[in-house]
Amino acid sequence: MSTLTDPPRRSFRLSQLIYDTRYRSITIQLIALLVMVFGIGWLVNNTVQNLAALGKDFNFGFLTSSAGYDINQMLIEYDSQDTHGRAAVVGILNTLLVAFMGCVTATLIGVIAGVLRLSKNWVVSRLMAVYVEGFRNVPLLLWIILIFSIMSESMPRPNDFRGDEPVASMIFSDHVAVTNRGIWIPRLGFTNSLSDNEAIASVEGVPAVATGWEDWAVIGLVLLISIIVIGSIRARSSRIQEVTGIRPTTWYLQLSILFIPFAIIGLFLGMTVVTPFLKGFNFTEGTHLRNSLIALWLALSLYTGSFIAEIVRAGILAVSKGQSEAAFALGMRPNRTMSLVILPQAMRVIIPPLISQFLNLTKNSSLAIAVGYMDVRATLGGITINQTGRELEGMLLLGAFYLLLSLIISSVMNYFNNRTQLRER
């Protein structure tokens, strides 16, 4: 009787790291890792040696020294005696402001233009085609400078609003002033402000009221809690709909939760609308939107909106025509079909390239320096570097900010994209 035995295992050999497919991928990855580590080490060592040759070191102590320069657009309190770190924070907030405004406006413009490009009306579709081709084929910097020039050269001067028969007048029931120095719009103020700022005495019969960050913090907290409660109500309605097939009517409850706490807080703080008015050689009070902000905002919105329009158009065309035909057969109107049937399905195609456009808009906001808008590129990446001579540290911080902001935008949009994907049952 014969006995079957397993063949003896061969001992491990170094040649297997290259020729054996079980180990080759690991070998390649380790080699690539070592090359990258040595490359980074050489770069860091070379940088340190060069800095030492120039009599410099590597530290971020300059962020605590006095900045010594003014910033014309601020969302928080700042003066020239504050630190470079606070100046950088002001620039970051300015960047976030124009990026947020641009993303929202560009999305609205892109969706509308993309839908209208598919209109059966020849004039409307051709006008949208002219807009799309015109904006996306001309450099963004030219649009920024063009809009800034129009605002600075074509709008009336503040002095034109003066006199018994003024050349120019405010619009929207004398609440908004459009001038060559920017646009003044009403702002919210609080007569019972939580901040320590004392209310300024009234000027020309128009009361000036305080506006502190503490007031907005309370309002923001109340609105956040309201949104969370509304989200739980909508989730409960969805669960009931899945079980019974009937969705409860909760819109009145959601509106009450959103507006009633806001109204109570506004009444407690003495919320009022402060309208801008002419004083001396310029307007005062209200909120001042500088020409640089308006030019950058509109240019980014229109330019990015032209790309989003093509993305939306492609997403709509990706949806089968049978979907719209079925909706029409059920008696749905074209606008309801587009908003309830076509666009929700097209979002699965639209969102991935839309993320790239949001990232491009955020990074393109660094062109603000062309029209004097003080974003983080102008503060931390410009004046601060020039004054302190900390080019390496400043650029590293600037790059880290844009990297972190891009990763946050990508994460949020990817989460939303996952929520819109089809799920198999």
Q: Does residue 161 carry a pLDDT above 70? A: yes
Q: How far is 346 from 397, CA to CA, in rounded Å? A: 38
Mention every residue, 6+ apart, whose C-beta is less than 8 A from residue 286: 177, 184, 185, 186, 187, 274, 275, 276, 277
Predicted confidence (pLDDT) per residue in 263-318, tens digit: 888 888 888 888 888 887 888 888 888 999 999 999 999 999 999 999 999 998 88
Predicted confidence (pLDDT) per residue in 323-342, tens digit: 888 888 888 888 888 878 88
Predicted confidence (pLDDT) per residue in 35-93, tens digit: 999 999 998 888 888 878 888 888 888 899 998 889 988 888 888 899 999 999 999 99
Q: Does residue 138 carry a pLDDT above 90? A: yes
The pTM (predicted TM-score) of the whole model is 0.82
Mention every residue, 6+ apart, whose C-beta is less than 8 A from residue 59: 393
Q: How far is 410 from 358, CA to CA, in rounded Å? A: 9
The one-letter code for the residue type at 215 is D
Mean pLDDT score across all residues of the chain: 85
Phi-psi group of 7: left, alpha or beta (phi > 0 → left; psi -120 to 50 → alpha; rest → beta): beta
Q: How far is 260 from 262, CA to CA, in rounded Å? A: 5
